[in-house]
Structures are given as structure tokens and as C-alpha cells.
Chains A and B, each alone.
Chain A
Amino acid sequence: MPYHEFECSKCIPERKKHAVVKGPGEDLTHALPLGYLNTIPGSISERGCAYCGAKHVIGTPMKDVIHLSHGPTGCTYDTWQTKRYISDNDNFQLKYTFASDVKEKHIVFGAEKVLKQNIIEAFKAFPDIKRMTIYQTCATALIGDDVDAIADEVMEEMPEVDIFVCNSPGFAGPSQSGGHHKINIAWIKKKVGTVEPKITSDYVINYVGEYNIQGDQEVMLDYFKRMGVQVLSTFTGNGSYDELKGMHRAHLNVLECARSAEYICNELKVKYGIPRLDIEGFGFEPLSSSLRKIGLFFGIEERAQAIIDEETARWKPELDWYKERLKGKKVCLWPGGSKLWHWAHVIHEEMGVEVVSVYTKFGHQGDMEKGIARCEEGALAVDDPNELEGLEAMMTLKPDVIFTGKRPGEVAKKIRVPYLNAHAYHNGPYKGYEGWVRFARDIYNAIYSPIHQLAHLDISKDEIPTGAGFQTAKMLSDVNLSEEVVSSSILRQYTGKYDSVSDLRQKTYPEFKQ
């Protein structure tokens, strides 16, 4: 597995060990990109900071909490309304964000007093919310404010409130991953075990590393409820603060995004003996196998099987419609962390696309191990990519579509590569059986967009087809398909609704005897 040297990064030789090509017959012991190392200054990396890793990625999806950042307003503003983690309480956590608004005088004289005033003001403004998380930022970490002491003081004075303090300033680590780690460890140390939850089932799990992007968590919760499994807490998407304090009473930790949340699972295993089961909500086979494993663990595998059979029968013909049309399309799978391994193999197997490159903005070597293990030979794997490397890779690999973040997606657009949002999704959720079809549908719509085809034409030079007033995606995608596929009475396009989540909130579930 040779290291891959980008032309644009020859002058920064330390980058060489951050990219490899998966060679034929080679395995992970031949080469592995370096990971989670300090970023090279000035390289125009895509990484964020440890504050955002704690506050924006993991903290804020908790839905019934005042999220207060102790610092100037910028950190708060910048990490507000840039994600799609919804909740079933009217998106309180999306709509409201709080900053202690530290100003110059506070930097000089200390900001603890203003923090305390802030806490009281915030609770006063939202009298129904009794929980708060306070996030340290660079400025207040550097001036040495004792946030924990202030939180304790307030909790003493206001016994009805509970405050969690997360000390993860922006500089605390090479990337947002530093913040994932800090908030995981802080939560288990400070909050887990302080509430005794009500147990209503013989089968109790924590759903960990799931952020309810466009409703992912609610889709998965639907399956768990249909199995009669009690989800004690979700860490943290659509999750509730008090429920998360009772994590220690679960029988099983079911882990999705190991990158951001394996720490708490590992600690729960050590401290409370709760097993960690890594599962996947993406893709028919991985999801089915995950549900089955949970079923097996509790001895209710037949309940899992019923769901698997029903959902597969309902949605597989739709997935396969897209698979026929996506076969062989080249994909750059360039997400932040976990999706590089969640998706690398299953999009190949279930949608027929070829993953020509994976990258991770903030992943560790463990993520690369999983990602490289799961992609096919020849794929280019890059750790902490930067602007020029991304461009070079796209120019060389000529992908048909790229899965990445919003801003890098704009870069791809300009070199005429369609993009899908790997973090927030286009029209998600992407988890669950239906979600996986939605993902396939989005990929299909991106690749076969008639406008995308027009972007490649130069009206001053090229021969311009003038006979047609329009084209459809299907006209483009079905050109080379066999008659059998085109006129199949089994395969069909996606038939779900624009909003596939809200209805789940009204659903009732069978009662299982305890």
C-alpha cells in the first residue's frame, strides 16, 4: 500500500504519510495514513476546533438543554444553524443558543461574575428548561475562569436546575475530535449515575453516537420500539439530559458513530460492565444484521426478523431500481469521520458505485483502518485533506459524485462534480431502510441532473444538441440499460414522502409483556 504524494503537497513532505492508495493484495499492516496529528498551519485544512466538536457536534443535539458558550459571541453564532439535528420538542436546541458575551473588560478582570449572571438570565428567559450545558471557549479557558465552581454555586442556589460543564476550548486538540473526547469523558464522569431511570422493559439499551441528523435517530427508534426495546437514552441526537444521566442502567450500549462516542461506551463497559455493540443504521444488510444482533442479545431475534422482512420487502425494489442506474459510478467518499467506514463498502455492494477515494477530516487511524479495510483496491485514502489536495484528487480521479460538506461541495460544484452533503444530508434521513433508498435517490438525482449535463457544454466550441427542449434524469440514466431492467415490474423509484419522519412521532407501538 504505497503512500500517495500529492503534487501540490510535495513542498510539505510531512503530508506524504497522510495518504495511501490501497494496493492489490495489500492489507492494513503495509501502510496506514497518519491521523489525528496537529494540522499543518496554512495548509487550508478542513478541520474545525475542539470547541465545535464538543458543543456543535455532541452537546447541542441534546434537546432539552440551554446550551451556553462561555466566551465572545462568535463561537456561538458560528455553530448555530449550520446543522440539521432535529428533535421532537420543536427543535429547541436548533433554535436557541446562548453566549455569555465576554468582552474586553471581562478578559482583563475575569468573566466568572458575568457567567453567573448569564446562567440566571437564561433560566429566567426559558423557565420551562431546567438543564444547561456550559461550554468553555478559547478565551475563557485562557483567562482561567473556573466554570465548574460557578455552575456549582448556581446549582446550590437553584436546586431545581442541573448544569453540565464541558471544558473543551477550541485549541484543545488537533481537530473537533478533541472535543468529542472531552465531552464524552466529562459526561460519564460528571453526570452518568446521578439519576435512577425508570426501567420499562426487559430489554434496555443506550443508543450512542447518533445525532438525529434529519431524523435518523427517530427512524432507528421506531425499529427499537417495534422490537419492544427500551431506549434509555440517546447520546445525543434528540436525546434528553436526564435520560442521559441514567445511562448506567442499560443492558447494552448500541454504538453507531464510534469516532465521536466510543469513549463513553468504553468507559461504560469498564465502569458498569455494559457491553458495547457496534451497529450500523446505514444500508440494508448492515442494518438488518445490526437489528438481528440486538435481537439475539436479548433473545428476541424473531421480532428483529419480522422488521427486517417487512422493511426489506417494502423498500428493496426501490433500492434496486437505483442500483441498476448507479452501477459503476465513481464516488469520492469524503466525510468527517465515521461515514467513511459506515458507507465505504455498503454503497459499493448495495448501490453498485465504486468508491475511488475516502478521506476523513478529523478521524483517527482507527477510522482509516476501518475505511481502508472496507473499500476496494485502488482507492485513495487521505487523512486531514486540504483544499489543494481535494482539488487535485478530483481532477485526477474524475468522480461522478462527491459526498462531503457544504463548503467543499461548492468547490466540487465549480469543477462540475455534483455533491451530496455527507454530514447533514440532502433529503434525508439516510438511516433505516427507507432512508437508504432516499440516499440512493439523492445520488441518482445528483448524477443524472439534466442541468449538471449542461454544465459540461461550451456553447462557443462544442456541438450543441438543439433538437430537444428538455431532458429528464431517466432519459439520461436509462440509455444503456437493458429492456428487462427498464420495463421491470418489480423495480420502482422511491415512493416515500418528502417528510418521512414526522409521522413516526404519532405512531403507537404494541405493548410487550415484561
Chain B
Amino acid sequence: MSCEIKQKERVGTINPIFTCQPAGAQYVSIGVKDCIGIVHGGQGCVMFVRLLISQHLKESFEIASSSLHEDGAVFGALNRVEEAVDVLLMRYPHVKIIPIITTCSTEVIGDDVDGVVIKLNEGLLQEKYAGREVHLIPIHTPSFVGSMVSGYDVAVRDFIRYFAKKDKTSEKINLITGWVNPGDVTALKHLLSEMQIEANVLFEIESFDSPLMPDGNSVSYGNTTIDDLTQTGNALGTIALNRYEGGKAAAFLEKEFDIPAIIGPTPIGIRNTDTFLQNLTRMTGKPIPESLVRERGIAIDALTDLTHLFFADKKVAIYGNPDLVIGLAEFCLDLEMKPVLLLLGDDNLAYPNDPRIQALKEKVDYEMEIITNADFWELENRIKNEGLELDLILGHSKGRFIAIDNNIPMVRVGFPTYDRAGLYRHPVVGYAGAIWLAEEIANTLFTDMEHKHNKEWILNVW
């Protein structure tokens, strides 16, 4: 009876849980105002990521491609970066920031993106765009390293490394959210506001849930500004909620500007939210107000209605972004459920040493497996061929057919969740997130009980 952590044994991937690094960098880029990224590679690297993001958020975002074609693949394609920057600047007068995001192809051919940025800064930008504020930021995200998660982490660091300056003292803190939804940002900002803490929330993506206005606005974009990014260097401290999505940036700020960093925990569930609030207090000296005690009380009240009656001993498999998966697993344990299988979709060597995973390893009193470099076959094969019995799956939409085909109730959570309506609007973090998650899980289980006629009458007197 123990928790085991191991790498997937097969070398190949059957149904990937993650896409590759450039996608993570692109997701970061759309969170920044007046910014359009150029992905240096084939057009599919952009087209499909834009599609993926639009599937998830039901919005369209602008990301450009250097459109690598055959000639560029043979002779080098830096000229196409130069042209892309020029075309973008000419046609999008508001653009100030252009991250240049590499891919596997342009990393393999060895295009010197850093060199071309210097060349453009000294040439094109001075000659043609003198007086215009333009920032070109090379971001190296070869697809054969890490995953979309590390791509996100790298890009957050690179944006901050580029802009951060220390020129004054500030009472603000940096709050690096990690790869979250608009609903999460709203929930986090609510907690900060109740605590009366001023924070630089990175990235400011509440606006990803953008309205359809009578005047017909057309573009969705994030709202993190150049000033926000610059000010990160003056902050009182940094809290990076997700170790693997923003942890690098927090560490950078600490090293470069002596800004104290707290990395984690992902505030999923009551306990982790409590810790987050304690961390805020520790960093700012601001007390936790009565209003949050009350909110927490509402959450605990809601959870109490559900835990031992419905959740106890339910076996759960969880997959997706590592911080999310770990946070959800911890919350499930508090809810009396048994996460039996955690799938982390890349081969980050840091996972086994993650203190949260260590804690699971030491303290879980039933059989739990944590698979790194995992694919969906690790889940499906266990269900279909190895007798794994599950009561619930938690994860994103790409795993939907495992749930559908094996008749296992599933709550969509993470990125992407395109097969359910509006999930990006709901938080999984904070007390509000705890309520939403628990009730979503409960209602999903209830629907399944009714659908299968599995003690559905129990709900008569609940």
C-alpha cells in the first residue's frame, strides 16, 4: 500500500496529454497587451494553437507565423523573421511587443533568433520605426524539449526577464497565476481585494472572456501591460502559484532583484487556499479579513454536504498540467476521495522531487500511481486491460473518449475544455473554486447514477 512514481515505460505516445512548448509560449503571449507573437516555424505551429485556444475559450486571438517553407528549411529562414516583424509592425500600429517564439524546425536548422533581434534592433527598428516603442523578445521553445507547460514557464520568465526593472520600491506583490482560466483570475483578484493587497497579476487574462458588444469590437487580448511587466522588478515579493508555470520567473526575480519568492502551492481546495492566504499575510503583513473567514465557511459548509455521503472512497484518475493535477489530488484527498492514478504528460525530471509528490509518496495509505511522461494510453490501458476501476476522471477534453467509452463520469478541468460550455469562466482556485469543483464533481456523479440507475433513488432525501 503505497504511492509509486514512475516514468511511462513505452517510448512512444498514444494520445498525448500535452502539446509542445511553443503552444505554452503562445498562450503567454496573448495575455500581454499590444503584443502579437511571431512563431518562427511552420504555419501549423500557429494555426492549430490558435484553433486550440479558440476551441477552449470560444474567442479568437492574434498570433503570427514566419511561415517557414521549403527554401527556409534548407537555407535558413531568418529573413522571414525580419519580414514578419516588418509586416506585423506596418499593419498593426498598436503593437509594441513581439515575442519571437522558436519551434523544433527553426531550432534544428539553427536559426540565430537572438542574432536577428539584435540586427532588427539596430537596423529596421531604427531606420523604419524610429520613435516607435517596439520590443522584440526571443523565446526559445523547441518542441522536442519539455511540453506546453515548460513552454509557458519559459515564456513567462523571458517576458519578465526582458522588462523587469528595479528603480523604486513598491508595496505591490507579483502574483504569477500559471496557466489558468479567466475565472481563476477573477477569483484570485477577489481574494487579493478582500485582503486589500495590491498585486501585479500575471497574466491579466480576465478579458479572455470578452463580451460581444453592440459596437462590434473584434479582438480578444490579455491586459498585462509593459508597465506591469516592468514593475515586476520593484515588487515586494512574488508568489508563483504554480511551480511549473511561472516558477522560473519567480526564481529569476529573486536572483536578479532579491525579490522574495514563494512558489506554490496551487490554491486548489480549502487547505491550499488557506496556505495561499497565509503566504499573502506573511508577505504583506495584511490580515485575513472576516469576509474571507465567512467565504471559507460557505465553502466548508458546501463541501460538508457532499464529502462523506457521496465522495468517500471514490477512486479518481487525474491528468493534465502538473500543478493542477497535484492540487486536484490534494483536494480530492481532503474530500475523502482516493486519487489512484495521476498522469503528468511530460518528462520533467523535477517531478519526483516535488515536495508535494514526496508527501503523497510518504503518506498515502492506499495504492496510488503517479506516471510521468504519461500519455492517455497509461489511463486507458489500465482501464481496458488491467482492471483499473474508477469512479471519476478529472482532466481536460482530449481525454473525453476514455470517459465516454468506458462509462466513467468525468469532470472537465484544465486546458483545453472545449467539450463543455463556459468552463473557462469558472474558477478552480480559491474557496470559490473549491465550491465549484466539488459541486461539479457531485452533479456529475449524480447524473451518472441516474443514467446508470445506480442507487439514483438515494438523492430523493438528500
A touches B (Cβ under 8 A): yes
A positions within 8 Å CB-CB of B: 8-9, 11-12, 38-52, 68, 71-82, 94-104, 106-107, 114, 117-118, 121-122, 125, 137-139, 141-143, 169-176, 387-388, 391, 405-408, 410-411, 413-416, 455-458, 462
How far, in angstroms, from A73 to B45 measured CA to CA in the complex?
A: 12
Q: Is the CB of A414 within 8 A of B44?
A: no
Beyond A114-B11, A171-B68, whether A52 also contacts B91 by CB under 8 A is no
CB pair B48 A48 closer than 8 Å: yes
Q: Is the CB of A170 within 8 A of B142?
A: no
What residue in chain A is nearest B21 (Cβ atoms)? A74
- Whether B45 and A49, one on each chain, are in contact in the complex, defined by CB atoms closer than 8 angstroms, is yes
Contact A122 B12 (CB under 8 A): yes
Once A78-B49, A102-B144, A139-B144 are accepted as A-B contacts, the answer to whether A117 and B54 lie under 8 Å apart by CB is no
Q: Are A52 and B144 in contact (CB under 8 A)?
A: no
Residues of A within 8 A of B23 (CB): 74, 78
Which residue of chain B has the shortest Cβ distance to A75 in the bound complex?
B44
Choose one: B10, B20, B214; the contact of A77 (CB below 8 Å).
B20
Which residue of chain B is the closest to A457 with respect to CB atoms?
B214
The 5 closest A-B pairs by CB, nearest first: A74-B20, A170-B42, A42-B84, A49-B44, A78-B48
User: Given A49-B47, A77-B20, A98-B13, A170 and B41 touching (CB < 8 A)?
Assistant: yes
B304 within 8 A of A: no
Spell out B's residues near A (CB within 8 Å): 10-16, 18-23, 36, 38, 41-45, 47-52, 54-55, 58-60, 62-73, 80-81, 83-88, 90-92, 103-105, 108-109, 142-145, 147-148, 210, 212, 214-220, 347, 377, 381, 397-398, 400-401, 405
Asked if A407 contacts B19 (CB within 8 A), the reply is no
How long is the Cα–Cα vector from A217 to B245 in the complex, in angstroms?
A: 44
Most B CB within 10 A of own CB, among A44, A99, A141, A416: A44
> What's the nearest-Cβ distance from chain B to residue A439, in Å?
22
List 29 interface pairs A-B (beta carbons < 8 Å), by A numbering: A11-B87, A42-B86, A47-B47, A48-B47, A49-B45, A50-B42, A52-B47, A71-B144, A73-B147, A74-B22, A74-B23, A78-B48, A78-B51, A78-B52, A79-B48, A94-B401, A96-B14, A98-B14, A121-B11, A138-B73, A170-B45, A171-B68, A171-B72, A173-B69, A176-B44, A406-B51, A406-B55, A414-B219, A414-B220
Q: How many A-B residue pairs have CB under 8 A?
A: 260
Asked if residues B47 and A46 are in contact (CB atoms below 8 Å), the reply is yes
Q: Contacts A77-B19, A78-B52; is A107 near B73 (CB within 8 Å)?
A: no
A410 touches B54 (CB 8 A): yes
Q: Which residues from chain A contact B59 at a C-beta distance below 8 Å?
A: 410, 414
Query: From B104, which residue of chain A is reached at the shortest CB distance?
Result: A139
CA distance A475 to B26 in the complex (A): 44
**Shortest Cβ distance from residue B87 to the other chain A in the assembled complex, whole angstroms:** 4
Residues of A within 8 A of B218 (CB): 391, 411, 414-415
In the complex, besides A41-B83, A407-B60, 16 extra interface pairs with C-beta distance below 8 angstroms are: A41-B80, A51-B44, A75-B44, A78-B49, A80-B15, A81-B398, A99-B12, A99-B13, A99-B16, A107-B104, A125-B381, A139-B108, A171-B105, A388-B92, A414-B212, A416-B216
- On whether the beta carbons of A74 and B398 are closer than 8 Å, the reply is no
Measured CA separation A48–B41 after assembly (Å): 11
A410 and B91 contacting across the interface, CB-CB below 8 Å? no
B149 to chain A, nearest CB (A): 12
Are B401 and A138 neighbours in the complex by a CB distance under 8 Å? no
Given A9-B91, A43-B87: A48 touches B44 (CB 8 Å cut-off):
yes
Q: Return chain A residues, CB-CB under 8 Å to B68.
A: 138, 170-171
Q: How many whole Å from B413's CB to the nearest CB in chain A?
A: 17
B70–A52 touching, CB < 8 Å = no
Tell me whether A101 and B72 are in contact (CB under 8 A): no
Given contacts A73-B20, A138-B103, contact A143 B67 (CB under 8 A): no
- Bound together, the chains give a CA A175 to CA B65 distance in angstroms of 12
B58 touching A117 by the CB < 8 A rule? no
Query: Are B398 and A138 touching (Cβ within 8 A)?
Result: no
User: Contact partner of B67 among A45, A81, A121, A405, CB < 8 A?
Assistant: A45
Q: Give every chain A residue within 8 A of B41 (Cβ-Cβ).
A: 138, 170
- CB-CB under 8 A from A141, the residues of chain B are 73
Does A142 contact B109, Cβ atoms closer than 8 Å?
Answer: yes
A48 to B21, CA, bound (A): 18
Neighbouring A residues of B347 by C-beta, 8 Å: 103
Check if B14 sits within 8 Å of A47, measured CB to CB.
no
- Which residues of chain B have C-beta atoms less than 8 A from A101's C-beta? 11-13, 16
When chains A and B are docked, how far (Å) is the Cα of A79 from the Cα of B10? 22
Q: How far is the CB of B144 from chain A (nearest CB, A)?
A: 5
* Chain B residues, Cβ within 8 Å of A50: 42
Q: Would A142 and B52 count as touching, CB distance under 8 A?
A: no
Q: Is the CB of A11 within 8 A of B90?
A: yes
For residue B90, which residues in chain A have a CB less than 8 angstroms away from its CB? Answer: 11-12
Question: B11, B51, B212: which has the most chain A beta carbons within 10 Å?
Answer: B11
List residues of chain A with CB within 8 A of the CB of B70. 171-173
A174: chain B residues at CB < 8 Å are 67, 69
Query: Are the CB atoms of B42 and A171 closer together than 8 Å?
Result: yes
Bound: A456/B213 CA distance, A? 8
Beta-carbon contact of A407 and B67 below 8 Å: no
Q: Pick from A42, A142, A411: contact of B83, CB below 8 A.
A: A42
Q: Shortest beta-carbon distance, B208 to chain A, in Å?
A: 12
**Max count, chain A CB within 10 A of own CB: residue among B43, B44, B71, B405:** B44
Shortest Cβ gap from A399 to chain B (Å): 13
Interchain CA distance A68-B15 in the complex, whole Å: 10
Q: Separation in Å of the A503 CB from the closest CB of chain B? A: 21
What CA separation (Å) do A209 and B176 show in the bound complex?
Answer: 48
**Distance of A255 Cα from B148 Cα, bound (Å):** 40
Complexed CA–CA distance, A413 and B59 (Å) = 9
Interchain CB contact under 8 A, B43 and A74: no
Q: Once the chains bind, are A12 and B214 in contact (CB under 8 Å)?
A: no
Q: Is the CB of B84 within 8 A of A104?
A: no
Residue of A nearest to B373 (CB): A101
Instruction: List B contacts of A39 (CB < 8 A).
Output: 43, 65, 67, 69
Query: Whole-angstrom distance from the CB of A467 to the nearest CB of chain B?
Result: 20
- Give the CA-CA distance A142 to B106 in the complex, in Å: 10
**How many whole Å from B64's CB to the nearest CB in chain A?**
5
**B contact residues around A138 at 8 Å (CB):** 41-42, 68, 73, 103-105, 108
Contact residue among B19, B44, B65, B210 (Cβ-Cβ distance under 8 Å from A41) = B65
Bound-state Cα–Cα, A169 to B105, Å? 10
Indicate if the CB atoms of A11 and B91 lie closer than 8 Å.
yes
In chain A, what residue has the closest Cβ to B397?
A81
Considering only CB atoms, which chain B residue lies closest to A126 in the complex? B14
